[in-house]
Amino acid sequence: MLPGGGIGPELMGYVKEVFRCGGIPVDFEVVQIDPISSGNDDLDYAITSIKRNGVAIKGNIETGSLDTEIISRNVALRNELDLYVNVLNCKSYPGIVSRHKNIDITIIRQNTEGEYAMLEHESVDGVVESMKIVTSENSERVARFAFNYARKHGKRKMTIVHKANIMKLSDGLFLETARRVGKDFPEIEHNDMIIDNCCMQLVSNPHQFDVMIMTNLYGTVVSNVICGLVGGAGLLSGKNYGDHYAIFEPGTRNTGTAIAGKNIANPIAMLNAAVDMLHHLGHKTHADILSSAIDKTLNVDGIHTPDLGGTHSSTDVVQNIIKYVMDATKSMKWF
């Protein structure tokens, strides 16, 4: 468990409380990361811990500093663990007022390269060069993951998002690779769309999208757009996968520093990350219990924090969820 900064620690406290009350069989090793410490010992320790445990739940770690020596902990973790794909399931909650109803879109995002390569330099005074790295290897891995995901989940349509009309080589490689991989999945229809048009289409008619695949920076922008469409930063979770490790976290990766310590942060995104983690660990029953408790709290009881237009506190939401989780786990039979 990497609580991170801002609202991370309080949200992790809720996760622990829900797990404790529900007797959910996961022990957490809590690892603090200090983004302004000198050196990278904290990062190395976190990476070792995740390698040992195979899986992590994570809050966002703020890297406010523009000092080029201080690298983003979030990016470094994903790169070091080779978590090359990010999956965000954006599904509307019927009980939440939002711009569009019945959205069900999955974003699959390259998670380790593109504009996040952190390779920037000032070549001469006043001229900065920033490298966007696209490799056929990573494009292929992400595309295969995406099409396999679509097949496994009975999805019918894939949209490849790019700007290959301008970035002909980098986005061109990503686009061509995804198209080629798509040929191995004839049952899944695929089209492609330029990122700017894609953003417009998303806000005007999101229902045309099913699964979307894109490079790293477009992925973070589009993820935030869709989270905004279904109810904001406090709801959805995101999954980071590689071949060996997985990290679960809130989908929009916000630190929430301005709302920390006020008992108003929406705990749902982190609890959804906990649901994802339980699925990944094979605790299907507990994942379903927690997921259904979240569902009833939001859609039936209408217990909403202020970001969703409600008047409830974070702890109101958590207590309501705990009530359902305890009811459900009490009636579980142990053999």
Site for ligand ADP in 6-25 (CB under 6 A): 6-7
* Interaction of residue 236 with ligand ADP, rule CB under 6 A: no
Look up residue 265 and give its two tokens. 């942060």
E-only strand ranges, the chain: 55-57, 85-91, 104-110, 120-124, 127-130, 157-162, 189-194, 211-214, 237-241, 246-250
Which candidate, 107, 58, 85, places its Cα nearest to that of 244? 85
* Interaction of residue 255 with ligand ADP, rule CB under 6 A: yes
* Interaction of residue 266 with ligand ADP, rule CB under 6 A: yes
Which candidate, 275, 266, 273, 327, places its Cα nearest to that of 298? 266
Among 44-52, 128-136, 197-205, 251-259, which window interacts with Mg ion (CB under 5 A)? 251-259
* Interaction of residue 234 with ligand ADP, rule CB under 6 A: yes
Asked if residues 40 and 28 have their Cβ atoms less than 8 Å apart, the reply is no
- Tell me how far apart the alpha carbons of residues 284 and 48 are, in angstroms, rounded to a whole number: 27
Query: Which residue number, 3 or 6, has a Cβ lying nearer to ligand ADP?
Result: 6
Burial classification of residue 67, based on how many CB atoms lie within 10 Å of its CB (0-12 exposed, 13-18 middle, 19 or more buried): exposed
Least distance (Å) between residue 260 CB and ligand ADP: 9
Asked if residues 12 and 57 have their Cβ atoms less than 8 Å apart, the reply is yes
Least distance (Å) between residue 265 CB and Mg ion: 14
* Interaction of residue 257 with ligand ADP, rule CB under 6 A: yes
* Interaction of residue 256 with ligand ADP, rule CB under 6 A: yes
Among 48-56, 102-110, 246-254, 326-334, which window interacts with Mg ion (CB under 5 A)? 246-254
Site for Mg ion in 45-104 (CB under 5 A): none
Q: Residues binding ligand ADP: what is the number (CB under 6 A)?
A: 15
Site for ligand ADP in 24-83 (CB under 6 A): 60
Least distance (Å) between residue 66 CB and ligand ADP: 14
Look up residue 47 and give its two tokens. 């990476």
Among 7-15, 147-155, 247-255, 277-285, which window interacts with Mg ion (CB under 5 A)? 247-255
Q: How many Cβ atoms are within 10 Å of 116's Cβ, its own excluded?
A: 21
Query: Which amino acid does the sequence have at 122?
Result: E
Any residues with CB less than 8 A from the CB of 106 and at least 6 apart, and which?
A: 87, 88, 89, 90, 149, 150, 153, 155, 210, 211, 212
Query: Which residue number, 17 or 210, has a Cβ lying nearer to ligand ADP?
Result: 17
Least distance (Å) between residue 33 CB and ligand ADP: 15
Residue 236 near which of Mg ion, ligand ADP, none (CB within 5-8 Å, type-dependent): none
Least distance (Å) between residue 255 CB and Mg ion: 7
Residue in this structure with the two tokens 């390259």, named with its chain if needed: 110
In order, the DSSP letters of 241-252 are: E-SS-EEEEETT
Interface pattern 150-189 for ligand ADP (x via CB under 6 A): ----------------------------------------
Look up residue 290 and give its two tokens. 């927690």
**Residues at the contact surface with Mg ion, assessed by CB under 5 A:** 254
**Residues at the contact surface with ligand ADP, assessed by CB under 6 A:** 6-7, 60, 233-234, 254-259, 265-266, 269, 307
